[in-house]
Amino acid sequence: MDKVLVFVEIKGDGPRKVSLELLCEAARFAQNGRFSVEAVCIGRLPDAARDKLLSYTEKLVHFTDPELAVYSPEGYARALAGYAREGGAKMVIAGATGIGRDFLPRVAVLLETGIASDVTGANWLNEPMTFVRPMFGGKVFAEVVFSTSPVILTVRPNSFAMGEAQEKGGEYIEKTAGISPDTIHTKVVRVEEASRDTVDLTEADLIVAGGRGLKAAENFNLIEELAGAIGATVGATRSVVDAKWREQADQIGKSGKTVSPKLYIGAGISGAIHHIMGMDTSKVVLAINRDPNAIIFNYANYGIVGDLFEVLPAMTQELKKRKEG
Amino acid sequence: MDILVLIKQVPDPEALVEIGSEGKDLNIEPKFAINLFDEYAIEEALKIREAHGGKVKAITLGSAKAIEALRTAIAMGADEAMLIEDEGFAAGDGYNTALVLSRALEKEMFDIVLCGRQAIDADRGEVPQMIAQFLGLPHVGVVVKLDIADGKTVAESAFEGAKEVIEVALPAVFTAQKGLNEPRVPLITGVMKAMKVQIPKLTVEDLGLTRDMAGPGGSKTKILQYLPPKKRPAVQFIEGEPAHAAAEAVRILTEVERVI
Ligand SMILES: Cc1cc2nc3c(=O)[nH]c(=O)nc-3n(C[C@H](O)[C@H](O)[C@H](O)COP(=O)(O)OP(=O)(O)OC[C@H]3O[C@@H](n4cnc5c(N)ncnc54)[C@H](O)[C@@H]3O)c2cc1C
Q: Write down all domains in chain A, each with its CATH number in brackets.
A: 2-183 (3.40.50.620), 201-324 (3.40.50.1220)
Q: Inform me whether the pLDDT recorded for B121 exceeds 80.
A: yes
Reported as a pLDDT band with limits 50, 70 and 90, residue B205 is: very high
Question: Nearest CA of chain B to the CA of A62: how many Å?
Answer: 23
Strands (E) across chain B are located at 2-6, 9-11, 17-20, 25-28, 32-34, 55-62, 80-85, 112-116, 139-149, 152-159, 162-168, 172-176, 201-202, 221-227, 236-237
CB B40 within 8 Å of CB B116: yes
CA-based nearest residue to B116, from B161, B179, B25: B179
Q: Residue of the nearest CA to atom 2 in ligand 1?
A: A274
Tell me the whole-structure pTM to 2 decimals.
0.91
Say whether B123 and A118 touch across the interface (CB within 8 A).
yes
Is the CB of A251 inside a 6 Å radius of any atom of ligand 1? yes
B210 in reach of chain A (CB within 8 A):
no
φ, ψ for residue A253 (rounded to 5)? 135, -175
Q: Report pLDDT for A196.
A: 62
Say whether B247 and A318 touch across the interface (CB within 8 A).
yes
| pLDDT mean over B9-27 | 93
Indicate the DSSP class of residue A66: G
Q: Inform me whether the pLDDT recorded for B125 exceeds 70.
A: yes
Indicate the DSSP class of residue A163: -
Reported as a pLDDT band with limits 50, 70 and 90, residue A8 is: very high
B256 in reach of chain A (CB within 8 A):
no
Reported as a pLDDT band with limits 50, 70 and 90, residue B146 is: very high
Domain range annotation of chain B: 2-218, 230-260
Reported as a pLDDT band with limits 50, 70 and 90, residue A7 is: very high
Mean pLDDT of chain A: 95
Q: Report pLDDT for A222.
A: 98
Pocket test for ligand 1, best of A238, A265, A296 (most atoms within 8 A of CB): A238
Classify residue B53 by burial, with Cβ atoms within 10 Å: 0-12, 13-18, 19+.
exposed
Question: Nearest CA of chain A to the CA of B189: how many Å?
Answer: 30
Torsion from C-alpha of B42, B44, B50, B56, nearest 10 degrees: -40
CA-based nearest residue to A102, from A85, A88, A118, A113: A118
Q: Which of A101, A145, A255 has its CB closest to that of B224?
A: A145
Is the CB of A258 inside a 6 Å radius of any atom of ligand 1? no
Fold (topology level) of B2-218: Rossmann fold (3.40.50)
| pLDDT mean over A100-109 | 98
ipTM at complex level: 0.95
A160 in reach of chain B (CB within 8 A):
no
CA angle (B58, B59, B63) in 5-degree steps: 130
A286: nearest CA partner in chain B: B249
Mean pLDDT of chain B: 95
Q: Inform me whether the pLDDT recorded for A87 exceeds 80.
A: yes
With a pLDDT cut of 70, the percent of chain B lying above it is 100
| pLDDT tens-digit readout, A27-84 | 999 998 999 999 999 999 999 999 999 999 999 999 999 999 999 999 999 999 999 9
Measure the CA–CA gap between B235 and A305, rounded to whole angstroms. 12
CA-based nearest residue to A19, from A116, A84, A89, A99: A99
| pLDDT tens-digit readout, A250-290 | 999 999 999 999 999 999 999 999 999 999 999 999 999 99
| pLDDT mean over B100-111 | 97
